Amino acid sequence: MTLTFYWYPKCGTCRKAKKWLDDHEVAYEAIHIAENPPSRSDLADLYEKSGLDLKKFFNTSGQKYRELGLKDKVKSSTNDELLDLLATDGMLIKRPILTDGQKVTVGYKEEDYEKTWLA
């Protein structure tokens, strides 16, 4: 099955993840996260399948996150509010996100990719 790879081409971490996928000959469909961000329902599905805290889906080092002053808002918002917020702008979403429809990884750590996508 082809994986879905949400990424931002100017992101160094995304480029490392893409190189890893290419080096390991893992098939994927690359989706530019700023131009074609996941919908709210897609985000809810990714969140549910990831097993992660929803706060992990925020690009906390991003300019948009800081501009909107989301640090405190994220702590006090409900999951529904957070999903609504994430769905407004692909640049708020931590990247890359890789999924096969069942498993989800957010961000890139080589050991996580090896454990999740080569098993």
Residue 109 is part of a domain; what is its CATH number?
Answer: 3.40.30.10
**In the structure encoding, which two tokens stand for residue 85, read together?**
């917020």
Amino acid at 45: D
Rg value, the chain, Cα: 14
State residue 119's pLDDT score: 73
What domain range is 113 assigned to? 3-117
Mean of pLDDT values over 86-108: 97
Q: Are 21 and 28 in contact (CB under 8 A)?
A: yes
Q: Are 97 and 46 in contact (CB under 8 A)?
A: yes
Evaluate if pTM is beyond 0.85.
yes
State residue 46's pLDDT score: 98
Task: Give 24-72 pLDDT, tens digit per residue.
Answer: 999 999 999 999 999 999 999 999 999 999 999 999 999 999 999 999 8
Number of domains the chain is built from: 1
State residue 2's pLDDT score: 87
Residue 1 clears pLDDT 90, i.e. is over it:
no
